[in-house]
Amino acid sequence: MADNFNFELVSPERLLLSELVSEVVIPATEGEMTVMANHAPTMTTIKPGVVTVKLASGQVNKYVVFGGFADVLPTGCTLLAESAVALSEITPDTLTKRIDEARKELEGVEHHEHRTKLEQYLSELTNLNGILVAA
């Protein structure tokens, strides 16, 4: 049986989850990452995607995050999301609205670095939309 560790998922609006878990799958910027107890200390940025949390009880919960960062320690993990919502609460309109807002913001951007970041964000949102529609 896997060891458990503390996991917190926090957005600016609220604390979504604070539980003992056996594993968490995080959409890290450099690729999907599974965190378990006694994980090496790591800090990583998060891209838009689905966070899968396996509670100590065995129950699996999923959340959609829209960026942020995760702080991983051997005894726990804290994911500070720019925005997050339970997967069951997300609607296709929610993602479509975010995609439209990103496209609109992209139209007025002149600075190349900012444009590149927005294009990457838009790509990640579009990919996330495809994943959620297929599910």
* pLDDT over 80 at 17, yes or no: yes
| Model confidence at 20: pLDDT above 70 | yes
Q: What is the pLDDT of residue 53?
A: 97
What's the pLDDT at 47?
92
pLDDT in tens, 23-38: 999 999 999 999 999 9
Domain ranges of the chain: 5-86, 92-134
Q: Which residues contact 71 (CB under 8 A, 6 or more apart)?
A: 42, 43, 77, 78, 80
Residue found under tokens 């993602």: 95
Q: Which fold has domain 5-86?
A: ATP Synthase; domain 1 (2.60.15)
d(CA 16, CA 38): 23
Tell me the pTM: 0.82
Does residue 16 or residue 105 have the better pLDDT? 16
